[in-house]
Structure 1
Amino acid sequence: MPGLSLIVPAADGARFYAALEAATAASALGRPARLFLQGEAAALLRTPVSFAGDAARRAAGQPDLASLIAEAMAMGVRLIVCQSGLALAGMTANELAPQVRAGGLVSFLAEAGAGDQMVVY
């Protein structure tokens, strides 16, 4: 089954949340899913992970961003953070959760399957 490769190019928590929802839905359907946080988007994984929509999500019975990340990773969604983005955010790979890996756009694209869908959020 073709995979789903998602790129989040900006530090926009709502877009990242939507991309995570798409990735978990694809994973639930048996499709491999990967997310690449490019550039400034790396800052979205600064601990403690949160975004402005967390309170509204919890009030609606939905997971907050940190919980959705954990759920996605438990489902096998791969999360890759731009190495240059980490530098832009003043972060290092050591500050990332163990399942998150640092990488570059070239390696992200090289790992995409021939039939994968590519979506930029």
Structure 2
Amino acid sequence: MRGLTLIVTRPAGLRAGLELAAAQAALGGAARLFCQSEAVSALAPLHDPRDGDYRAAGLPTLAELVEDALALGVAIIACQSGLALTGIEAAMLDPRIGFGGPVSILQTLGDDRLATL
């Protein structure tokens, strides 16, 4: 199965990106989620203002989605420029989250499918 690399460009896209990447991993494929620019802000703290609504509907919170995705082997990567832009320090993120930039993502794309959210 071809891998899947998702580029998330805004905080609101993180939830959908996590769900898609986790589904790919659950099906046995490699999955990466690259948080570009201000999308990095959704990674620290791991909280979505709509978490209460999701929980009330019996759905996972954003933190639970991240935990599930990481447990399935999804690589979550924070953009280094996004960290600088949002004022987030690497130490504020889950230690399992990696760091990189668009060039490194494209250099390691291989035959992954690429989508932007």
Give TM-score scaled by structure 1 length. 0.92
Residue 52 of structure 1 and its aligned partner are, at CA, apart by 2.1
Residue 60 of structure 1 and its aligned partner are, at CA, apart by 1.3
Does residue 56 (structure 1) correspond to residue 53 (structure 2)? The answer is: yes
- Corresponding letter in the other structure for 2:113: Q
Query: 1:100 and 1:90 mapped to 2: Cα distance?
Result: 17
SS of the aligned residue for 1:98 comes to coil
Counterparts of 1:3-18 in structure 2 under 5 Å? 3-12=3-12, 15-18=13-16
Residue 63 of structure 1 and its aligned partner are, at CA, apart by 0.7
RMSD: 0.9
Task: Provide structure 2 residue ranges, at least 5 long, that are not aligned to the other structure.
Answer: none
Task: Provide structure 1 residue ranges, at least 5 long, that are not aligned to the other structure.
Answer: none
Residue 41 of structure 1 and its aligned partner are, at CA, apart by 0.7
The alignment of Structure 1 onto Structure 2 pairs a total of residues equal to 117
Counterparts of 1:1-121 in structure 2 under 5 Å? 1-12=1-12, 15-47=13-45, 49-114=46-111, 116-121=112-117
Query: 1:26 and 1:83 mapped to 2: Cα distance?
Result: 25
Residue 54 of structure 1 and its aligned partner are, at CA, apart by 0.8
Q: Retained in 2: the 8 A contact 1:39–1:82?
A: yes
Query: 2:41 and 2:31 mapped to 1: Cα distance?
Result: 21
Q: Which 4+ runs in 1 deviate beyond 4 A?
A: none
Query: 2:38 and 2:56 mapped to 1: Cα distance?
Result: 28
Residue 62 of structure 1 and its aligned partner are, at CA, apart by 1.1
Aligned residues with identical type, % of pairs = 46
Query: 2:50 and 2:31 mapped to 1: Cα distance?
Result: 23
